[in-house]
Amino acid sequence: MKRVVLACALAGAGSGCVTTAAIARPHEVSLPLLVGAVAADFVAVSLLASQAQDYSAGASIATGLAVTAVDVTVGCILGACRSVLP
């Protein structure tokens, strides 16, 4: 599963790490993996936004937060957040 997160972060797709983790193994997404997927997603999107669109640092962070929030929401709907729920 760690390979899925690493592949997503290195692929440069920019987003979808949490969703990919949820699709790959919805019942086996642990909390550390979920946190790592969120961090990888945020970093990838922020870096792509700063390079591709010449955004300022603040705009890149805001773009990273917005896209990561959507990815986490979709991933949780698909079952990635089951490790966080009681």
pLDDT per position as a tens digit, 5-45: 555 554 545 567 888 888 888 778 888 888 888 998 898 88
The per-residue pLDDT of the chain, averaged, comes to 79
Query: What's the pLDDT at 18?
Result: 84
Q: Which domain holds residue 9?
A: 2-83
Query: What's the pLDDT at 82?
Result: 84
Please say if the pLDDT value at position 67 is more than 80: yes
If phi over 0 gives left and psi between -120 and 50 gives alpha, with beta otherwise, what is residue 6?
Answer: alpha
Total domains in the chain come to 1
- The predicted model scores a pTM of 0.77
Q: How many angstroms separate the CA atoms of 48 and 27, rounded? A: 30
Between 1 and 61, name the one with better pLDDT: 61
Nearest to 68 by CA among 30, 40, 47, 48: 40
